[in-house]
């Protein structure tokens, strides 16, 4: 949702693809979200790495564990197999964990670990979580005096520790700030 560079790793291509398919649902309301998906990237393919280097945001899948040692390629690294994630040092200020991050991450990890082939609960859950965040931000918009509505960062400080930064980054990505 925040227009970041997300890398997912798994030994299992099936598990990797299953999880990558779910990530765009966090921004389902944006029509172009599928353009940012890179389902499988090889660290040995220089053209694919160059594409990542020039992209502002993406979700990319890898099955080479060496990707974790390449933080210049990601803001957020998710190990699907161990259900752990790492925030790159350069992106730490944008990813200070808050209750919203933990809620979404736990939901995704539970879904990734599920053996169910029914994707509807995952889709519905992610769409609902995304819509709740957008509705919260929309309710906080105010007039800037020119008739334009926007979300001010200072109006988000009451959301809790680190939630203000998270929500403001989403507001920026959604064009609400």
pLDDT in tens, 95-129: 777 777 778 777 777 776 666 666 777 777 777 88
pLDDT reading at 77 higher than 90: yes
How much of the chain exceeds pLDDT 70, in percent? 89
CB half-sphere exposure, 13, CA atoms < 13 A: 4
pTM: 0.66
Q: Is 60 exposed, middle or buried (0-12, 13-18, 19+ CB in 10 A)?
A: buried
pLDDT 10s digits, 134-154 = 888 888 888 877 777 778 888
């Amino acid at each position: 949702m925040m227009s970041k560079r997300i890398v997912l790793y798994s030994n299992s291509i099936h598990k990797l693809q299953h999880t990558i398919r779910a990530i765009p649902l966090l921004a389902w309301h944006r029509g172009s979200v599928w353009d940012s998906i890179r389902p499988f990237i090889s660290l040995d393919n220089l053209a694919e790495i160059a594409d990542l280097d020039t992209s502002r945001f993406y979700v990319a899948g890898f099955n080479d564990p060496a990707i974790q040692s390449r933080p210049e390629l990601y803001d957020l690294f998710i190990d699907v197999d161990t259900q752990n994630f790492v925030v790159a040092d350069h992106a730490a200020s944008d990813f200070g964990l808050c209750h919203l991050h933990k809620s979404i991450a736990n939901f995704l990890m539970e879904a990734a670990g599920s053996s169910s082939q029914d994707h509807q609960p995952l889709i519905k859950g992610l769409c609902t979580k995304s819509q709740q965040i957008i509705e919260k931000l929309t309710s906080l918009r105010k007039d800037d005096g020119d008739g334009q509505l926007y979300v001010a960062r200072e109006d988000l400080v009451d959301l809790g520790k680190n939630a203000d930064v998270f929500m403001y980054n989403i507001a920026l990505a959604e064009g609400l700030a």
